[in-house]
Structure 1
């Protein structure tokens, strides 16, 4: 066998180990009894250690060196050439991480989750603060181990969004902030132009779940290769191209219903289900990055699911499914309510316009924690200051502040930026889609989502992780990642919705 073939055999085993760990993580969030935390922490730690040690072994390095020579004459964008390139990048990073650090990250994450759940339920940051210190300390160790010629946060960004650094993200976020905050203030001056009271109506949770399941299946989520369950925090997880699962959460009020979270997670899942089978069980068989992944969940949730064309098709079905709860509510009224701008404390409940501000808030706090400019005990106060500056809201309650997200139970910082990058990249891709599919709105209004899904599969999903975020966006749109398309989109949409133009 060639060195490349031998290398693939190693990568197949490492992938299997990671996906087994993902399955254990999914079980912990959905069905595992509370008493299983300690055992699950040990199991995840063991799997993470074995996968890490297998991947960074000297034999893997030798195979990688030989494989690089074998693929030297292949086209730069071929599967094998990209597999070797991405594996080299991963190997260089992981060989810098000692095994005890990898094990600690897996174990501490599992231990932190129930502590976070209790702290969130009680609204008491002090209960979670000791675990947050561990998260920050481990993130600092990771940044130090990987190394950087610039700021410590650069190393963590590069782990999540290869090719980007702190300065680039700061520049992008400053462009967004300079346009979002003034637009938000204008919208707030005319908040009475959109009535959201219809969303206070209650519909039995199972009825909402049934409807959301039908919708995401129509969009293209393949239930033969997936399923939907309930969890405290909605997520998507993949155990392979043939098994990509989503979760959602649901409450009686339509304002906190499950439809949009189900569409959001199905966007992630359709991405994973659309990866080329030729990439299975390799480091390429996943999304390009968290930011590109989020571009698909936000694209389907907002640019499709909150659009007029979507509701032209689905609103009559929604009325029928909800047993008269919306019979006297018009389609336009419901569309406007679903897109209302109402600054809120909770990120996952944020409207489309203010969502990025929640991400920027976390970005600033993470940087300061990592660089030692902010202590863990000071996080609630810093959070309150940012909430006032960005969203114009008074200090939040304990559960609506820094305890609202599960992400800080994971001993890794730098991932939140992907949520804002997702909005930006999704809008940039959609501008390109509309040029290629000029009848897109008519197709969506007719319930035909195949053209959009097909275009995304061919241009984004199929490639998996072959390209960096910048490479993929440049390849598809002809331009580097930029804030302009998203800014144009929200200024047009909310200018129309609130009659600002």
Structure 2
């Protein structure tokens, strides 16, 4: 067994090196590459993606996995070796259903589509990218059909990010959250609106970036193993467990927009940096699911970064950085402002209460597109109609509407947005579990210390990589199954206090 396992690891590391090189090309594409480089970059990425896919789906890996599965059937389920073989086998069985030709076409298309999206945003012209989106939908359907029969055409796409999850399981979760959120929004809307105008004064870019860096260093993001750059849409990407990079987009007239995205991406990055180094170069060296990944980003962004305890320490620091902009502002008024509940057009700027409505709109539109119930050219109108009905606001242009998120224009559709809401739900479960085990965490945050929280997250979530499925991991650290109760309690408790709804 030992020799076969060594052979498998060597093959997997070689494949990982190809994939990591492709990630480096993608990072450059989204951060530094000139727009005219899109065609060649798409070809380059397609070549690497095809090579990695062909190597991973080779019969030699399949034979090794079959031999190793027999050798490890009596070993503990949680052992590193057993987990590596189990997870690799699962990924292998999925990969062999997708032909290399499809991988090449998809990668070339993704780069072309992203470049078209950038042009469409510059000109506020959806028609520029609409043909590319139609191709994306066609490719998404083709991908799903590699895994037929399925219950819903989106299920194979969802399971790319959330193993074991499907439309029929998501709909009840979304329904329960929406039924809890709508009355909360209604009640909050009857209360006096906090003044948040000071958040939209001029905040110089460099000072914003420097303050954000100071905070995420305190969180524990290791800059010897990462870096931050600027991009149109913030993202996290890694070339190895020791090279985990984040980006942000700074709006000089909106302080919290950039700051919250910096915390969010650092949450993703710290997860990857916390994965056991033993897993580097193998399929275990990633998050348990996108929902788990998103939970860590949302935990640091919201449960920590919008909390009273956090700003008890950092507000005086921020006020020293921006004395003019925050002149006369108290920490209490600042907290009310950054936690203000008001429907907004932009998902990434949404408050915690209305955020999930943005996700549900996208999720429903994705299903309509995949099912063929919505044509691409009708998407802007469908988008605007949902914002009018669900959030009582109407986009004045497509930049603030259907063109705001990069997701549909740089990958397959149908597999990503639900993870944001799952992440919100799981973030509350994580934080409750951490606090119940280490009640000193809240007091430490008041003093600008995050070591205990980070250590709990590392030992209970990060270090495992994707040894466990999302449901297994949730049960492991909560002894429960996925539930929205902690999340809804968090929202109601927090906003009852901010808006004094009990009075």
TM-score category (smaller protein): over 0.9
Query: Any idea what SS the aligned residue of 2:240 has?
Result: coil
Aligned to 1:242: 242
Deviations along 1:25-62, whole A, 9 cap, x unmatched? 00011111122111101100000000000000111111
Kindly indicate whether the alpha-carbon contact (under 8 Å) linking 1:11 and 1:55 is maintained by their aligned counterparts in 2: yes
- Equivalent-residue separation in structure 2 for 1:254 and 1:377 (angstroms): 32
Aligned to 1:129: 130
- Equivalent-residue separation in structure 2 for 1:201 and 1:289 (angstroms): 38
- Equivalent-residue separation in structure 1 for 2:500 and 2:378 (angstroms): 41
What is the deviation of 1:398? Answer: 1.1
| Distance change (3 Å), C-alpha of 1:489 and 1:148 | farther
How does the TM-score come out when normalised to structure 2? 0.97
How does the TM-score come out when normalised to structure 1? 0.98
Matches within 5 A, 1:214-363: 214-255=214-255, 257-363=257-363
Extract unaligned runs of 5+ from structure 1.
Answer: none
Aligned to 2:188: 187
Query: Any idea what SS the aligned residue of 2:224 has?
Result: helix
Extract unaligned runs of 5+ from structure 2.
Answer: none
Kindly indicate whether the alpha-carbon contact (under 8 Å) linking 2:117 and 2:129 is maintained by their aligned counterparts in 1: yes
Matches within 5 A, 1:103-252: 103-190=104-191, 192-252=192-252
What is the deviation of 1:70? Answer: 2.0
Aligned to 2:464: 463
Kindly indicate whether the alpha-carbon contact (under 8 Å) linking 1:241 and 1:273 is maintained by their aligned counterparts in 2: yes
| Distance change (3 Å), C-alpha of 1:115 and 1:368 | same
CA RMSD of aligned residues (A): 1.2
Kindly indicate whether the alpha-carbon contact (under 8 Å) linking 1:250 and 1:256 is maintained by their aligned counterparts in 2: no
- Equivalent-residue separation in structure 2 for 1:246 and 1:344 (angstroms): 25
Query: Any idea what SS the aligned residue of 1:399 has?
Result: coil
- Equivalent-residue separation in structure 2 for 1:392 and 1:356 (angstroms): 15
Stretches of 4+ aligned residues off by more than 3 angstroms: 254-257
- Equivalent-residue separation in structure 2 for 1:148 and 1:91 (angstroms): 19
Aligned to 1:489: 490
Kindly indicate whether the alpha-carbon contact (under 8 Å) linking 1:4 and 1:66 is maintained by their aligned counterparts in 2: no
Query: Any idea what SS the aligned residue of 2:399 has?
Result: helix
Q: Does 145-154 or 217-226 show the bigger shift?
A: 145-154
Query: Any idea what SS the aligned residue of 2:351 has?
Result: coil
- Equivalent-residue separation in structure 1 for 2:201 and 2:442 (angstroms): 29
Query: Any idea what SS the aligned residue of 1:223 has?
Result: coil
Query: Any idea what SS the aligned residue of 2:216 has?
Result: helix
Kindly indicate whether the alpha-carbon contact (under 8 Å) linking 1:248 and 1:262 is maintained by their aligned counterparts in 2: yes
Deviations along 1:197-251, whole A, 9 cap, x unmatched? 2212222111111111111101100001001110010111111111101111112
Kindly indicate whether the alpha-carbon contact (under 8 Å) linking 2:274 and 2:458 is maintained by their aligned counterparts in 1: yes
Aligned to 1:27: 28
Aligned to 1:16: 17
Aligned to 1:42: 43
| Distance change (3 Å), C-alpha of 1:96 and 1:276 | same
Q: Does 1:80 align with 2:81?
A: yes
| Distance change (3 Å), C-alpha of 1:268 and 1:224 | same
How many aligned residue pairs are there? 500
Kindly indicate whether the alpha-carbon contact (under 8 Å) linking 1:385 and 1:395 is maintained by their aligned counterparts in 2: no
Kindly indicate whether the alpha-carbon contact (under 8 Å) linking 1:245 and 1:269 is maintained by their aligned counterparts in 2: yes
- Equivalent-residue separation in structure 1 for 2:72 and 2:396 (angstroms): 55
Q: Does 311-320 or 392-401 show the bigger shift?
A: 392-401
| Distance change (3 Å), C-alpha of 1:410 and 1:148 | farther
- Equivalent-residue separation in structure 2 for 1:236 and 1:108 (angstroms): 21
- Equivalent-residue separation in structure 1 for 2:268 and 2:249 (angstroms): 16
